[in-house]
Amino acid sequence: MTVLGPVAEPVPAARMTPAQARVLFAATMGNFMSATPVLYTVFGMVLIPISKEFGWPRAQVSGVLGLAALCAAAMAFATGPLVDRYGPRRLILMGSLSFAVALGLFSLAPARVLPFYGLFLLADIAAAFASPMTYSKAVSGWFDRGRGAALGFAGGVGNGLGATVIPIIGGLLLSRFDWRVTYQGMALMVGAIGFPILLRYLRDPPPGGLRDAGPARAEKGTAPANDLTLRQAVGTRAFWITALAIGLCAACMTAMFTNVVPVLTERGFALADGVTVVTVFALVCAVAQWLMGLVLDRIATPLILVPFYLLGLGGLLLLQYGPSMPWLVAAGVMMGLGLGAEYSALPFLVSRYFGFRSYGAIAGVLYGGINVGMGLIPFAMNGIFDAYRSYDPALHLIQGLMLAATAAFLFLPAHNGTVSHGR
């Protein structure tokens, strides 16, 4: 099996068409206002205020994330085949508008477990139709040459910049009002800004995606040789190693992103310090995701990701033990580099390894697994905190999982477009 893959053949620069530019802009703004920045990141900021208002332990508040993870995973499995069948535009428009309404309803949640959990899950379900996986289907289908850069830009500038700006907005609202007004502000932003942009600019890609091999094929979208079904993809080693090497690390790092503020607050740092680290984390993630997309367009070996994963692991250690803000800012930089590499690699490698025939179904399975981790890891972290009054045991466990997942890259084949069933 090839481990050290070839460098991709250089291709002439191609000017982005107006249609591509519009879709890229819409997908970027959609990711900016998706569940991770708007629902989960803000939840990490309001976890302690909700706990104090309701008189609940933190594990009980964050327990909804475990259920949301299972719900999001189920929704990813369901929306994957739907996006293959109906195209991303319908699902995204429905999801964006429903997400805005559900956020407003969640802001009215009473101090009772079932309604609180139920309204949060409603927002989580709505957001699943306008998820990064759905946007990646649209972007991948509109780009062949430069696909990595396009995916990195839409995801990096979208999710990353969203997770940079939205905590600032959330922090301003939270410092002046309460957690309810904070989520009402999020609902207004998604409904009044995000949805109109998507309605105006987002379009479905041509069947099979654009192909840049020649002018005749560029408009028709022919299927690549490795256009696998979900069943065929699951039969490859590349699928399972991708799930471990990228899926597990992405779940760990994304879950950590939502817990930076509680971890640092428990260590004695101010809320503003935690928000600063989250902001740096997200901003670096945005830039790293785009740059990693450029790299993946040119270098076919996934081993290029290993140094970035190790940087992310080092950032976790600094977050846990850094004695002052300069060290914690460095932790945010390092974790942002690691998470940016993970976010950029997953949709790109899915499209290169398995093609477009069942992209949504295959990506849905992988993103579903990540969603499980995103929900269960914060729940476990806060459960461990309630038991030991410290996040340290949970952080050590996460660091071990990430180290094992990073080692799996040694067994991941180069993305040379020829991954076959059973490989």
Query: 163 and 59 in one domain?
Result: yes
CA atoms within 13 A on the CB side of 277: 33
Does the residue 219 lie in any domain?
no
Report pTM: 0.72
Q: Cβ of 8: how many Cβ atoms within 10 Å? A: 18
Of 162, 182, 201, the residue at which a domain comes to its end is 201
Torsion of CA 56, 62, 66, 71, to 10 degrees: 100
Does the residue 6 lie in any domain?
no
Contact 225, 385 (CB under 8 A): no
Does the residue 423 lie in any domain?
no
Q: What one-character DSSP code corresponds to residue 8?
A: P
Of 163, 183, 201, the residue at which a domain comes to its end is 201
Structural domain including 100 reads 18-201
Query: 274 and 369 in one domain?
Result: yes
Query: 157 and 75 in one domain?
Result: yes
- Number of structural domains (the chain) is 2
Sort 225 into a burial class: Cβ within 10 Å, 0-12 / 13-18 / 19+: exposed
DSSP secondary structure of 214-237: -HHHHHH-PPPTT---HHHHHTSH
Query: 89 and 32 in one domain?
Result: yes
Residue 97 amino acid letter: L
Does the residue 212 lie in any domain?
no
Query: 339 and 197 in one domain?
Result: no
Query: 171 and 276 in one domain?
Result: no
- List the CATH number of the domain containing 317: 1.20.1250.20
Q: SS in 3 state form for 340-378? A: HHHHHHHHHHHHHHHCCCCHHHHHHHHHHHHHHHHHHHH
Query: 291 and 349 in one domain?
Result: yes
pLDDT in tens, the chain (423 residues): 333 344 344 444 457 889 999 999 999 999 999 988 899 889 988 988 999 999 988 878 888 877 887 887 788 888 888 988 888 999 999 999 999 999 999 999 999 999 999 999 999 999 999 988 899 888 988 887 788 888 888 887 887 778 778 988 998 999 898 999 999 999 999 999 999 999 999 998 887 666 654 433 433 443 444 678 888 888 888 888 888 888 778 778 877 777 888 888 888 888 888 888 988 887 888 788 788 888 877 776 777 788 888 998 899 899 888 889 999 999 999 998 888 887 778 888 888 788 877 888 888 888 777 777 766 777 777 778 888 888 888 888 888 888 888 888 778 776 654 444 545
Does the residue 225 lie in any domain?
no
- Give residue 96's pLDDT: 96
